[in-house]
Structure 1
Amino acid sequence: MNLNLRNAIIHNVSGNDQAQLKDTIVDAIQRGEEKMLPGLGVLFEVIWNHADEQEKNMMLETLEEGLKQ
C-alpha cells in the first residue's frame, strides 16, 4: 500500500474552518501522542509555505524563545 501521509493529512483537514483547525491542533498537543506529530508537522509546513518573510521571522523568533524555556 502506497500511503502518502502528507496528502492524507491535508485531505482530512481540507475544508475545515478556523475553529475546527484550532480544535485539531489543540487536541493533538493535549494528547501528547507521538503519532500526532507528523500531522502537526504537515500543518506547520502549510503555514510556513504560505507565510511571507515577516511572518516566518516572527515564527522563528517565537520558536527560538519557546526553546529557551
Structure 2
Amino acid sequence: MNLNLRNAIVHNVSGNSQAELEDTIVDAIQNGEEKMLPGLGVLFEIIWQNSSEEEKKEMLGTLESGLKH
C-alpha cells in the first residue's frame, strides 16, 4: 500500500472519538465498496500494533471462527 494513502487515512481519522471511529468502520463495512478496504486495513494495522499478545490471539480466534461460517 502506498505510504501516502496510509498517512492520509490516519490523518482523516486522527482525533476522532470512539463513536466517530465506529461510524467510520460500520459505514465502510455496510457500504461494501472495495475502495474502502485499504482504510479498514490501515485501521486494523493500528489495532494490531497496539494490542497485547492476548488480544491478538483473541482477534485471530474470532477471525478463524468467522471464516468457518
Query: Which residue in the other structure is 1:53 paired with?
Result: 53
Change (3 A) 1:32 1:52: same
Q: Distance in 1 between matches of 2:56 and 2:65?
A: 14
Please report the TM-score for the alignment, with normalisation by the length of structure 2.
0.96
Matched, 1:36 2:46: no
Q: CA RMSD in A?
A: 1.3
Structure 2 residue ranges without an equivalent (≥5) = none
Q: Sequence identity of aligned pairs in percent?
A: 76
Q: Distance in 1 between matches of 2:37 and 2:51?
A: 21
**Helix, strand or coil at the partner of 1:36:** helix
Please report the TM-score for the alignment, with normalisation by the length of structure 1.
0.96
Structure 1 residue ranges without an equivalent (≥5) = none
